[in-house]
Amino acid sequence: MSVVDRLSALSPEQRALFEKLRQRQPRPRTLPPVAPVSGPTGVGDWPLSFDQERLWRMHRENPGLVSWNVDAGSHVKGPLDIPRFLAAFRELIRRHAAWRTTFPIVGGRPVQRVHPWVEPAVSVIDVSALPAEVRERAGHEAIYEHTRNPFDLENGPLLRIALVRLAADEHLYLLTIHHTVTDWITFQVFFQELVQIYEGRQLPLPPVQFPDYSLWERELYQGEALEEEARFWRKELEGFPLVLDLSGRPRPAVQSQRGGLFRVRAGAERTGRLRALARREGATMFMTVLAVLNALIARVTGRDRIVIGSNSANRPRPELEAVAGFFLTQVPFATDVSGDPVFREILARTKRTALSAYAHQSLPFSKLIEVLGADSTPERNPVVQVLLLILEGESHGSSGALDFEPVGLYDGNSRWDLMFGLYDYHDVGLAGPLEYNADVFDADTVGRLLERFYRTIDAVTADPDVRLSQLEPA
């Protein structure tokens, strides 16, 4: 039954109640269009976006860290034409200002300088002569080493590609870009356009470039507009501790971002029960997993006010959807689980929190921590130390005779104390990396926490009216 059919089946009284509830939901304000101020190619010196500037500062404080290198790779099967592939890659750089950007200092401040052209770093590695039993491992080791070199933000280039030939019809490729000029949606833009250009299609230039967004953002978030967002977030986070310490271990004076990794495998049956619960309660999978984490962390820490963050794509205008750049920002979700509620109530509270936060998710995280007076300290991230991502399960892509299978990579770093990066696969359920800060967690502690995560899912799906105090104690 469609949504329209369901609404038409409501009684007048039910329809009136539905409309009343719908009108109560917070809605994001209408935002003005992004004007193409920087021209079709974006060439010139422009101010950084707010989050870009914060990331630039963090890189400058520790330029040797490679944890802000972002990677995406594929196992390519089929007759790959390498010169044509690299020509398509260079065409993408021509199309997008973000990938022709460096960050020199002008007048004591950084600018994003968009060049007419930046030659990317390209490595072509041939391991096809190696014995078959070691060939793929050697290829993965080659692209792993490719991720380990830091970028020079002032001089660039800020992207590089490694192409490994395993056999005549089998390759690995890895694209590595500094986070100041990319995000996850940008990688999707990259792959979609790369395939289209490789196939010979002519694509129009993006309607705007990333510097246009930076100018738009700086004009938008000032004065009363900024104060309106500030009022919301001050009220939303009032009374919530902005430090969430799960390990109890002393922290080093400066984060090394040295990480560790577990693989989450919730299983199809367990995840199916969680999906069914989400549907019954009118919640998304993100809200439902967030509620599980709220309950788990409350039991581990004894706290009844929990802040967990997530990423927002932060592309609030349609003209930004296919633009390369660092739009991504973080959103804190602050949930009160006091009063020993049943899990169904924890989920309802989490849902209300999420809906409110979604209406204000486009405020750049750097501005949010500024209005809260919670800027970074060397030993921990501000506001958000635990991050939850729920993404659609990755699938294979194809281009004619080529098949692209995503390659999972882990660079040994963790930008958060804990980061659940989960994919919701229809066949195998929730799966993905659980990264942790190895400076404050040992592997055994995180392993036990992951097992408790599974058991909490089992408990709340078996009985959504189980009380918080009845869940496994710390």
Return residue ranges of the chain for CATH 3.30.559.10.
Answer: 44-211
pLDDT of 6 higher than 50: no
Question: CA-CA distance, 234 to 160, in Å (whole number)?
Answer: 41
More confident residue, 288 or 395: 288
114's CB contacts (< 8 A; 6+ apart) are 38, 41, 42, 43, 44, 45, 46, 97, 100, 101, 209, 211
What radius of gyration do the chain's Cα atoms show?
Answer: 23
Question: CA-CA distance, 124 to 164, in Å (whole number)?
Answer: 6
Q: Answer for the pair 161, 122: CB distance below 8 angstroms, yes or no.
A: yes
Q: How far is residue 270 from each of residues 283, 338, 460, measured CA to CA in Å?
A: 17, 27, 11
Predicted local distance difference test score (pLDDT) of residue 10: 42
| CATH architecture for the domain at 224-470 | 2-Layer Sandwich (3.30)
Judging by DSSP bridges, how do beta strands 402-407 and 44-46 pair with one another? Answer: unpaired
Lowest mean pLDDT among 71-85, 326-340, 372-386: 372-386
pTM of the model: 0.88
Predicted local distance difference test score (pLDDT) of residue 410: 77
Q: Answer for the pair 424, 287: CB distance below 8 angstroms, yes or no.
A: no
Task: Report the percentage of the chain scoring pLDDT > 90.
Answer: 72
pLDDT tens-digit series, residues 45-101: 999 999 999 999 989 988 888 888 998 888 999 999 999 999 999 999 999 999 999
Return residue ranges of the chain for CATH 3.30.559.30.
Answer: 224-470
Domain covering 44-211, topology: Chloramphenicol Acetyltransferase (3.30.559)
237 falls in which pLDDT band (50, 70, 90)? very high
Query: What is the residue-averaged pLDDT of the chain?
Result: 89
